[in-house]
């Protein structure tokens, strides 16, 4: 994979511990990069930067108009055409850490809407995950308690009117499942991760596929070889009729080496399981995933090729069993986004530590 552009926050107004690049999104020739520990509105209030990927120039810096310290604005980001959705999961509109998400016009930089959960409460963490498709927004709230403490939920909104279209919960959900930790949407289907579900053992994880028009459950995915603490569903993505689901604590190549599974969304059948060809313990391969037609990009943020926890990402072809392309390791502490054949790296200068 060829590196087309590297963007470092220190070229703008970035500073130590901003976590610039924690979240990324791409649409056409623009990139949105979250910096959730930025301090513009107070300590760890957060921000997000919009760039032209052709020139590398900064188009807008977004902050929450009503932001305050510890909001984590920019923890999650999504782009679709000329709108940006930015999560602020520790915002406190509905009490402590209830969370919110902000919709912006990327052309003007103006705020279009602020989303909160109509039934939100303390520690719902609404906005931890966000996704956009046309005029629909999907926002995860993994700390919601509808099916028990931190069972989780996800909310579907109309971005034009701001109205709630549907609230998703797991039909078989239970406490601490963290349903809504990850979300994806494509056309009229939504994929929602529940990485602490216990179907294959404690915290083995699952992901649910829903019809966004009817709200009905289409498929529940679990890892065929899943086991306890795999956290299958910690990351999810959709493209055409395929779903890619990360399982970053899978142990195929040592403890927490990680994996990712490709499924057919129509039949529910497993198409392929990905692991890092050179994987090793604690790499966390599958912590982030991106999918576009027959190309998959899978992050491994604790790979050690450029030093401890320097990180890497692997590019695979999904329609063959061929050896993957060489992995991309542009700089330590990198996060990658993909759309078609375009790759972008957002580089953070802070040294990451294992958690």
Mean pLDDT of the chain: 88
- Residue 293: Cβ-neighbour burial (10 angstroms; 0-12, 13-18, 19+): exposed
Mean pLDDT value across residues 155-163: 97
pLDDT bucket at 177, cuts 50 / 70 / 90 = very high
Whether the per-residue pLDDT at 158 is higher than 60: the answer is yes
Question: Which CA distances in Å does 247 have to 222, 241, 289?
Answer: 10, 20, 10
Averaged pLDDT, 187-216 = 97
Q: Are 32 and 59 in contact (CB under 8 A)?
A: no
pLDDT the model gives residue 15: 74
Q: Can you read off the two tokens belonging to residue 166?
A: 């549907």
Is 286's pLDDT higher than 50?
A: yes
Inter-residue contact 310 to 329 (CB < 8 Å): yes
The predicted model scores a pTM of 0.88
Q: Are 117 and 93 in contact (CB under 8 A)?
A: no
- Superfamily for domain range 6-347: Integrin alpha, N-terminal (2.130.10.130)
Say what the pLDDT of residue 7 is.
67
**348 pLDDT more than 80:** no
pLDDT, position 9: 59
Q: Which residue has the higher pLDDT, 80 or 326?
A: 80
Query: 33-92 pLDDT, tens per residue?
Result: 999 999 899 999 999 999 998 888 999 999 999 999 999 999 999 999 999 999 999 999
CA-to-CA distance for 65 and 162, rounded, in angstroms? Answer: 18
| Whole-number Å distance between alpha carbons of 269 and 308 | 36
pLDDT > 80? residue 312: yes
159-180 b/e (C-beta count within 10 Å ≥ 16 → b): beeeeeebbbbbeebbebbbbb
SS3 call for 11? helix
Chain segment 9-35, per-residue pLDDT in tens: 555 677 777 888 888 898 888 999 999
* pLDDT tops 90 at residue 320: no
67-77 per-position pLDDT tens digit: 999 999 999 99
Helical H segments across the chain, by residue range = none
């Amino acid at each position: 994979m060829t590196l087309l552009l590297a963007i470092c926050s220190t070229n703008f107004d970035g500073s130590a511990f901003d976590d610039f690049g924690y979240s990324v999104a791409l649409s056409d020739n623009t990139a949105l990069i979250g910096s959730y520990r930025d301090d513009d509105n107070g300590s760890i209030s957060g921000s997000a930067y919009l760039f032209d990927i052709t020139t590398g120039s900064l188009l807008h810096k977004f902050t929450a108009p009503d932001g305050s310290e510890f909001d984590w604005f920019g923890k999650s980001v999504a782009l679709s055409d000329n709108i940006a959705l930015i999560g602020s999961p520790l915002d406190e509109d509905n009490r402590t850490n209830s969370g919110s998400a902000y919709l912006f016009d990327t052309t003007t930089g103006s705020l279009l809407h602020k989303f909160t959960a109509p039934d939100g409460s303390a520690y719902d963490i609404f906005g931890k995950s966000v996704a956009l498709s046309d005029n629909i927004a999907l926002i995860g709230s993994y700390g919601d308690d509808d099916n028990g403490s931190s069972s989780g939920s996800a909310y579907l909104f109309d971005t034009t009117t701001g109205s709630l279209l549907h609230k998703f919960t797991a039909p078989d959900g239970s406490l601490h499942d963290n349903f809504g930790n990850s979300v994806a949407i494509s056309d009229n289907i939504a994929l929602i991760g529940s990485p602490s579900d216990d179907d294959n053992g404690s915290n083995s994880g699952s992901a649910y596929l829903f019809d966004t028009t009817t709200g009905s459950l289409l498929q529940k995915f679990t890892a065929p070889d899943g086991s306890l603490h795999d956290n299958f569903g910690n990351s999810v993505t959709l493209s055409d009729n395929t779903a890619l689901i990360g399982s970053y604590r899978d142990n195929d190549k040592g403890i927490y080496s990680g994996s990712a599974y490709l499924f057919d969304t129509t039949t529910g059948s497993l198409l392929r399981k990905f692991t890092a060809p050179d994987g090793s313990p604690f790499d966390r391969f599958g912590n982030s995933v991106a999918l576009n037609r027959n190309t998959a990009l899978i992050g491994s943020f604790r790979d050690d090729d450029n030093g401890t926890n320097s990180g890497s990402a692997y590019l695979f072809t999904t329609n063959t069993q061929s050896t993957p392309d060489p992995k991309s390791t542009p700089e330590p502490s990198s996060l990658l986004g993909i759309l078609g054949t375009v790759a972008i790296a957002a580089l953070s200068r802070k040294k990451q530590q294992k958690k």
